[in-house]
Structure formats: C-alpha cells, structure tokens
Amino acid sequence: MLLVKEFTFDAAHNLVKYHGKCERLHGHTYRMAVTVSGRPGEEGMVMDFAELGDMVKREVVSKFDHSYLNDIIPQPTAENIARYVFKSLDGHFCGLDCELRSVQVWETKNSSAIFGREDLRAEATADGIGGEGA
C-alpha cells in the first residue's frame, strides 16, 4: 500500500548551467509529495502521518523554506531537488516497517519531477556500486 503526504515551501534559486530566463534569480512556492510503501500494521496504518510530517519538516522543509537553494544544491532543478530530498530522507526509514518509494517536486502548478527507488538503483548501477538486487 502507498502512503502520500504533501508539503510546501517557498525558496529562491537560479540555474547557473541553464541559458534562459531561469538562469536569473527567482523564486517558487514548491509543492512536494513524499510517498512511502508498506503494509498497514495492527493500528491499520502504513506509517503515522504525523511522524512522516515531522520527519520531512525536520530534515527538508526547515532547511529549504525561505532559503536560496543554490546554497544547498549546486544546480537546484526540480529533478535535483527531488533526488536530494529522496537521498536525505531514505536513511530515516531504517527500522520502520515501510520504505521510501518516491519524492515528487512541483516547481509550478503543472510541472514536476519524480525521483524514486528505481532511480536510486539506476544511479548506483551506473556508478558501478550496484547491481542485481541493489
């Protein structure tokens, strides 16, 4: 079963490796969805929404909200933000009965990027540190 919790944060960035209007400093109200998977436990929940919310706010939103994202991520595209958030949260699920599946980041109302577990595996394989079952 999948469990999804959404968040928003306001942040500024500029894309230094991109040539167009987004190379200049500007800001967005980002929307972000964190998806976990697992089987509902005896309480009937995959994970407590409050626990997931506290984790994401502590590890991500508190760092990103009203920040200059280039100070955190060198080229803060929606794709790189989703990757960064996934990798930042992934280790916090050890010992829980659920697994982080994906992070989706909307830069605008209708434009988003998703980084998921399969992307993490593909990166590990491309870096030569993964393989079958990674």
The catalytic position among 19, 42, 66, 132 is 66
**Which residues 6+ apart lie within 8 Å of 18 measured at CB?**
75, 77
The catalytic position among 22, 23, 26, 51 is 22
Residue 19 is a catalytic residue: no
- Which stretches does DSSP call E strand in 39-132? 67-68, 98-108, 111-116
55 vs 40: CA distance, rounded Å: 19
Please give the positions annotated as active site.
22, 66, 107
